[in-house]
Amino acid sequence: MTERSAIRRIYEDHYKALMIIPFLILVLAMGQIAYQYSTTGEFLQRGVSLKGGISMTVPDAVADIASLEQHLVSVLPQGDFTVRSISSTQGVVVDASDVESAELISAVTEQLGTLSKEEYSIEQFGSSLGSSFFSQTLKAVLWAFIFMGVVVFFVFRNFGPSIGVILAAFSDIICTLAVVNLLGIKMSTAGIAAFLMLIGYSVDTDILLSTRVLKNKHGTVMSRIYSSMRTGLTMTFTTMTAVIIALVLSKSTTITEIMTILLIGLVFDIIMTYIQNVGILRLFVEKHHGKHH
């Protein structure tokens, strides 16, 4: 019991110091992205759907990913390959650029055994479509942020809380992106859609928090924070349940990618909302209403 109240004490009294954690994570994330940009020229890794190439999916194959990749590299040295499995036990997805689809199919069947047309699916992406989609969705992300900022400002009419919400959403996206990069996940069109979803979602929890803290008039600031935490964490955990179940059972790379990004984003959302945003809100409340409320 004393441990729990010790944690509570730290959370309640040392909130300013605690804010170092999310900001540190944010700085590290931005560092990762900057590093990525300086070494590869892009701040994320683009999959074949965004830069051109072929994607071949064999959902029921059980194969050793490493040896398949080795085989492909040795047979088709000019190609750039990413081989991954769909779920932990089965399924193979090969993304390749600079190879022909016929070459890829024969190289893969050499390793996995003959495949009938019913056992795999193939998608080919022209590079120009991918890059234009990429730049368009980046713009979409930007607009989503701006609109969100406007709406939030409109609702709270004050700089402080609006910054809190926007910063939390921003940090959420940046940190998720950094982890995605570190995990070596290559972005596809579906992945970008997942990021857009994430913006909407993380804003949800932050708005809930800020609305309750600022607009409710009863109880103390801390009690209001705790009550929104209870609601917010329930929300996040229910969504996580849906996402984790889908992630575990999925046989499709599209769904797996979307759910992975959402899961990572949800975890960061908890940190950003309840440490970073809370900290900013409390600073704001202090400034405006004095320390004892």
Query: Applying CB under 8 A, which residues contact other proteins?
Result: 59-60, 117-126, 128-129, 132-133, 136-137, 139-141, 143-144, 147-148, 151-152, 155, 189-190, 193, 196-197, 199-201, 203-204, 207-208, 211, 215, 218, 227, 230-231, 234-235, 237-239, 241-246, 249-252, 254-255, 258-259, 262
Q: Distances in Å between the alpha carbon of 238 and those of 232, 235, 241, 244?
A: 10, 5, 5, 10
Q: Which is nearer to other proteins, 40 or 124 (CB)?
A: 124
* Separation between Cα atoms, residue 15 and residue 17, nearest integer Å: 5
Least CB distance from residue 60 to other proteins, whole Å? 8
Q: Which is nearer to other proteins, 73 or 160 (CB)?
A: 160
Least CB distance from residue 74 to other proteins, whole Å? 26
Most distant pair of Cα atoms in the chain: their distance: 74
Q: Which is nearer to other proteins, 18 or 255 (CB)?
A: 255
Q: Is 185 helix (H, G, I), strand (E, B) or coil?
A: coil
Least CB distance from residue 142 to other proteins, whole Å? 10
Spell out the alpha helix ranges (H) of the chain: 2-13, 15-18, 20-40, 48-51, 65-75, 101-112, 127-156, 159-182, 189-215, 221-249, 253-271, 278-289
Q: Which is nearer to other proteins, 30 or 193 (CB)?
A: 193
Q: Which is nearer to other proteins, 39 or 88 (CB)?
A: 88
Least CB distance from residue 37 to other proteins, whole Å? 23
For 173, half-sphere exposure in the C-beta direction (CA atoms, 13 angstrom radius) is 24
* Separation between Cα atoms, residue 189 and residue 130, nearest integer Å: 8
Least CB distance from residue 169 to other proteins, whole Å? 9
How many of the other CB atoms lie within 10 Å of CB of 8?
12
Q: Which is nearer to other proteins, 36 or 256 (CB)?
A: 256
Least CB distance from residue 165 to other proteins, whole Å? 10
